[in-house]
Structure 1
Amino acid sequence: MADGMYGRDTDDTYAHAGFGAAVRRGERPVIVVVDLTNGFTDPAYPSGADLSDVVAATATLIEHGRAAGVPVVFTTIAYTPAEADGDIVTWLQKAPGMRAMREGSPAVAIDARLPRRDEDLLVVKKGASAFFGTGLAAALTGMGRDTVLVCGATTSGCVRATAVDAVQSGFSVLVPRDCVGDRAAGPHDAALFDIHAKYGDVIGVAEAVEHLRQLTTGVRLDV
């Protein structure tokens, strides 16, 4: 019987290659909520899916983060009319359903079920990663953050891209699995496997909440 999702051979191959070590849990985390906008969480949109469970889990994590004084950053993809209707953004040639993500439209608004506050930073991006072409890395450095808890959608797209760029920008990466979602199970599972093997730790929400709780109590149970 297979040890992991992809079988003993895959697990052994990755272990032999030296992947899968645990990342350092920093003491100054930030929660980055990637693209939990109506265009992704409402299946009425071409790019959307029913991510109600992901939204609920992320809302819970945010509330625990607030109690620990952890900042929250939201991202949205939004295109100008020139970008949405033209050939300026190469990605839109591959994913034309994303052309619905127009500046000022309901599609690019943060899902109202999330407890967003006026003081939360909103990063507007044009591509998959929350870091590429934005000031996010500089903002997190300015905040003194050392660890990024990545939530959002989609797991195989913008979440994975953000996790990769976060670790390449010098931040430890934690991905609470219930706080990320995709349009289909296969890409979701594959992306989580890849993130956990190479870029960050995929953890349960309970572990993420416990990590945040430790920040308020000063008791560290991990290393």
Structure 2
Amino acid sequence: MGWKTDWRSFYYETAEEPEDIVLDAARTALLVIDIQNTYLEVSDDPAEAARWAPFHARMHDTVIPNTRALQDWARRQGIEVVHARIACLKEDGRDRSLSQKKPGFNYLLLPMTREDSQIVPQVGPRDDEIVVTKTTDSALTGTNLRIVLHNMGIERVICAGIFTDQCISSTVRSLADESFDVLVIEDCCAAATKELHENELRTINMIYCHVMSLEEVQGLALR
């Protein structure tokens, strides 16, 4: 058991095991996506609060502390830490993509200066770490991040954050389409439910990325 055999979908049940990964710190970036204050707010509606309680528990107990540990590890290794958040540049949200304007859960009006759009302090940027503000699910499509990563010589991106089945998945697919090697750290991510989280990991694993745990990525060889 381990990242080479876990999280396989039907397509990759019989595929050969991937080769060992060696991280080149100078060519690797850690991208933390959308861990923002708004997603930690508890609804005033008791039924809705109960419905989201497992997600909030995972965020507080697993995702935030693990992501902080992942960031600290990356900084020690000389891996660039980058942050992405979803917010609108116009107060009325006209600049948002259509997916962020549709009614329902995805409808978000988060002006970029408002407190609920800010990154959770425990996993926030330090010093001159880059923060991109996106108006789409994908952190690559909705920003100049692709050019920035290219300019810094980045070839591999480690992804963490939320939501696994939405902005993580969209970003991972965009990165893969641009020929970046991608790692997704499963215990630094969350979806609304465990089922959605695990289903998406199986969908994107081995074709768009390699899914592994915090412990596994920290155990990879570096050069």
Please classify the TM superposition score into its range, dividing by the shorter chain length: 0.7 to 0.9
Higher relative CO (CA 8 A, sep ≥ 6), structure 1 or 2? 2
For 1:153 and 1:88, how far apart are their aligned partners in 2? Answer: 18
Verify: 1:145 aligned to 2:154, yes or no. Answer: yes
In structure 2, which of residues 95, 98, 105 is the aligned counterpart of residue 90 of structure 1? 98
Partner residue in 1 for 2:86: 77
Partner residue in 1 for 2:118: 109
TM-score (norm 1): 0.80
Contact (CA 8 Å) 1:23, 1:201: kept in 2 or not?
no
Q: How many residues align?
A: 204
SS at match of 2:157: strand
Verify: 1:124 aligned to 2:133, yes or no. Answer: yes
Return the structure number with greater helix share: 1
> Residues 152-163 of structure 1: matches in 2 within 5 Å?
152-163=161-172
| Amino acid in structure 1 at the alignment position of 2:72 | E
Contact (CA 8 Å) 2:33, 2:168: kept in 1 or not?
yes
Partner residue in 2 for 1:99: 108
| CA spacing shift, 1:165–1:25, aligned 2, 3 Å | farther
SS at match of 2:182: strand
Contact (CA 8 Å) 1:182, 1:188: kept in 2 or not?
yes
Q: Once the 2 structures are TM-superposed, how far is the Cα of residue 142 of structure 1 from its aligned partner?
A: 1.0
For 2:135 and 2:16, how far apart are their aligned partners in 1? Answer: 31
Q: Once the 2 structures are TM-superposed, how far is the Cα of residue 186 of structure 1 from its aligned partner?
A: 1.5
SS at match of 1:160: helix
In structure 2, which of residues 204, 208, 212 is the aligned counterpart of residue 203 of structure 1? 212
> Residues 187-202 of structure 1: matches in 2 within 5 Å?
187-202=196-211
